[in-house]
Amino acid sequence: MDSIAIQGGPLLNGTIPISGAKNSALKLMVASILTDQPLLLTNMPRLADTKFLGRLLRQHGVEVTERDGADGQETLFHAPEITSTFAPYELVRQMRASFNVLGPLLARTGHAKVSLPGGCTIGARPVDLHLQALTALGAAIELDEGYVSAMAPKGLRGAEIEFPFVSVGATEHTLLAAVLAQGTTVLRRAAMEPEIGDLARCLTAMGARIEGIDTDVLTIHGVTSLTGATWSVIPDRIEMGSYAVAAAMAGGEVRLTRARAGLMTALTDKMIAAGVEVEPTDDGVIVRRDPKQRLRAVDVTTEVYPGFATDLQAQFMTLMTVAEGDSVIRENIFENRFMHAPELARLGADISVHAGEALVKGVEALQGAPVMATDLRASVSLVIAGLVATGETTVGRVYHLDRGFERLEEKLTACGAQIRRIKDEGDEH
Ligand code: EPZ
């Protein structure tokens, strides 16, 4: 398996272009199942996760063509015919978002058999809300030997659905199915993450009729068919936030471009409180920190959007490891998302975890050491720690990082970081 080696010390100065959002791209790709016409996604990130999903879509009959367009990378998806409605365990287990093919396959063909995704390192992550919502839309669902078989031979029907709590995946999945249902669907307590707004707007460009976009009540008037469209993937607010924290950690001045500062105000408010300068620009944000001044400790609690994102919790905890004072980091979304804490402790951080809460006592400095990535956002937090740890930090199991960060070493090197990938020639990831 590849690893990444970082020599701590250099300030970060320069410009980092932000890629299209992984968590939007994955759902937009799935939308291609809903139409027999081409869907062109521009500003497409090239990531391990988008590759995985492309492989799954191909076996359902979607033609997937990656190419360079006028505005960077783009991918054309075209499903003239659905050739298989079966999604095998081998493909779904590699990435949970694959499960979201179930609703669109069902909406387009009336049946589908999709593997359950299983748990993952950050928590159990069941899909009960997804299945309840599809059942409410009229699907007959059976669970058998790890697979979900769903039937709706006469098509899905609109329904009133109130989610018991907010789920990004269940909101997106239900939206993807309801656009082709007969009649009106109302989704209450819908998630409001910007990636859901992006999906809803793309579906609207494809002919769907959706009201309440960006609110927690979505009203979907079903249509009989959707058309193709050209859609630019929203900037990745988690990539943007990760580099913002990296700049704050290392010190210096970094301009993040092709981005939107408004998508990460919950993070930047906390960064400002910690003593970082944040200046929104027309196409992103400038992050500045004087390395001579120590950061202040700030508490953070993860919440659904527009609250502080769980996907930025590990990065912010890393920043707090070297702040002056104690900070309390509460994780409200996933039950097991502190696996980075013991790895940060290997670098000299002082963190104690009790249930869903971590107490971080700021230390003067971190020291480089070999550490192990446990999930995608934990991996980037270890890279960020490596930027200031004395000596060399090597981050193992980098395939986690490749799932969601495009050309990370290149983007950081351009700003002066000393970071390199150590290739494992026998690596299949
Ligand atoms: C999405 O996951 C993201 N993934 C996650 O990003 C992100 O952390 C999460 O939303 C929260 O923002 C993608 O978009 C591909 P949820 P998702 O449904 O949809 C529980 C990353 O690093 N739940 O909002 O799975 C669930 O277990 C990833 O890019 C149920 O109990 O998140 C969790 O505790 C990691 N039953 C909570 O709800 C269900 O049916 C929120 O999950 C569904 C969810």
Residue 97 alpha carbon, nearest atom of ligand 1: 15
Confidence check: pLDDT of 427 > 60: no
| Closest alpha carbon to 169 in 126, 204, 138, 112 | 126
- 167 CA to centre of ligand 1 in angstroms: 6
Average confidence score pLDDT of the chain: 96
Q: What number is the average pLDDT over the span 268-285?
A: 98
pLDDT top residue among 397 and 107: 107
Q: Is the shortest distance between the CB of 378 and ligand 1 below 6 Å?
A: no
Residue 120 above 80 pLDDT?
no
At 416-425, the pLDDT tens digits run 999 999 988 7
Nearest CA to ligand 1 atom 5: 311
CB-ligand 1 contact for 169 (6 Å cutoff): yes
Domains of the chain, with CATH numbers? 3-19+235-422 (3.65.10.10), 22-232 (3.65.10.10)
| 233, amino acid identity | V
The finding on whether 194 has its CB within 6 A of some atom of ligand 1 is: no
| 168 Cβ closer than 6 Å to some ligand 1 atom | yes
CA 276, 253, 305, 301 torsion: positive or negative? negative
Q: Percentage of the chain surpassing pLDDT 90?
A: 91
- In this prediction, residues 362-383 reach a mean pLDDT of 95
Cβ burial 347-359 (10 Å sphere, 16+ → b, else e): bbbebebeebebe
> In the predicted model, what is the mean pLDDT of residues 35-44?
98
Judge whether residue 429 has pLDDT over 50.
no
Tell me, in angstroms, the distance from the centre of ligand 1 to residue 96's CA: 9
Residues 6+ apart with CB under 8 A from 99: 87, 92, 114, 115, 116, 117, 127, 130, 169, 173
Over range 286-310, report the average pLDDT.
Answer: 97
Atom of ligand 1 nearest to the CA of 166: 24
When mean pLDDT is compared across 62-66, 170-174, 248-252, 375-379, the lowest value belongs to: 375-379
Atom of ligand 1 nearest to the CA of 403: 29
Specify the residue with its C-alpha closest to ligand 1, atom 18. 167
Distance of alpha carbon 126 from the chain centroid: 17
Residue nearest to atom 20 of ligand 1 (CA): 125
**What per-residue confidence (pLDDT) applies to 336?**
84
**How far is the CA of 42 from the CAs of 21, 70, 216, in angstroms?**
11, 9, 27
Whether 66 shows a pLDDT value over 50: the answer reads: yes
- Segment 195-223 shows an average pLDDT of 98
Instruction: Tell the residue nearest (CA) to atom 44 of ligand 1.
Output: 167
pLDDT digits (tens, 9 = 90+) for 226-250: 999 999 999 999 999 999 999 999 9
Kindly state if the Cβ of 108 falls inside 6 Å of ligand 1.
no
Does the structure show a pLDDT above 80 at 317? yes
Nearest CA to ligand 1 atom 25: 169
Per-residue pLDDT, averaged over 197-205, amounts to: 98
Which residues does residue 103 pair with via DSSP β-bridges, in sequence order?
Answer: none
Q: Ligand 1 test: best mutation among 311, 315, 339, 406, most atoms within 8 Å of CB?
A: 311
Cβ contact 69:42 at 8 Å: yes
User: Residue 414 pLDDT > 70, yes or no?
Assistant: yes
Task: Quote the ligand 1 centre to 315 CA distance (angstroms).
Answer: 18
Between 93-97, 241-245, 340-344, the lowest mean confidence (pLDDT) is in 93-97
- Ligand 1 center–CA 125 separation, angstroms: 7
Rounded to the nearest 10 degrees, the angle between the axes of helix 376-386 and helix 313-320 is 20
Active site residues: 120
Average pLDDT over residues 214-235: 98
pLDDT at 1: 83
Instruction: Phi first, then psi: give them for residue 380, nearest 5 degrees.
Output: -70, -30
Share of the chain above pLDDT 70, in %: 98
The mean pLDDT value for 11-25 works out to: 98
391 lines ligand 1 (CB under 6 A): no
The pLDDT of residue 365 is above 70: yes
Q: Is 26 in the pocket of ligand 1 (CB under 6 A)?
A: yes
Q: Is the CB of 377 under 6 A from ligand 1?
A: yes
Type of residue found at 79: A
* Mean pLDDT along residues 29-43: 98
Predicted confidence (pLDDT) per residue in 245-273, tens digit? 999 999 999 999 999 999 999 999 999 99
pLDDT of amino acid 241: 98
Determine the pLDDT at residue 335.
Answer: 86
pLDDT score of 93: 87
Q: How confident is the model at residue 426 (pLDDT cuts 50, 70, 90)?
A: low
